[in-house]
Amino acid sequence: MPYYVSWIKDGRTRRFAYPHANLDTAIGFASEVLHRECSDVWISDENGHLVADQKAVAQYVEEAEDG
């Protein structure tokens, strides 16, 4: 299933043009986006359904840093 990373920066919503093949790579990319002063970041599936919100991405980052 493809996963899309979207974010809000400077009041504009953006979405990475290409889908990620698995959730792990999507979360990895979303964590990089989160460090770029975005006000929000999330991951959705091909149907636009929310898969992971900013809190889930931040938790993934924290666990990776601890880990």
Residues in the chain: 67
For residue 62, tell me if it sits in a domain.
no
Q: What is the pTM of this model?
A: 0.88
For residue 23, tell me if it sits in a domain.
yes
CA distance 36 to 39: 9
Instruction: Express each pLDDT in 7-37 by its tens digit.
Output: 999 999 999 989 999 999 999 999 999 888 8
Q: Which residue has the tokens 């493809």?
A: 2
Instruction: Express each pLDDT in 37-66 by its tens digit.
Output: 888 999 999 999 999 999 999 898 788 778
Question: What is the reported pLDDT for 37?
Answer: 81
Range of the domain at 38: 3-51
For residue 17, tell me if it sits in a domain.
yes
DSSP H or E stretch at residue 9? strand 3-9
The number of folded domains in the chain is: 1
For residue 24, tell me if it sits in a domain.
yes
For residue 56, tell me if it sits in a domain.
no
For residue 16, tell me if it sits in a domain.
yes
For residue 32, tell me if it sits in a domain.
yes
Question: What is the reported pLDDT for 67?
Answer: 67
CA distance 53 to 67: 21
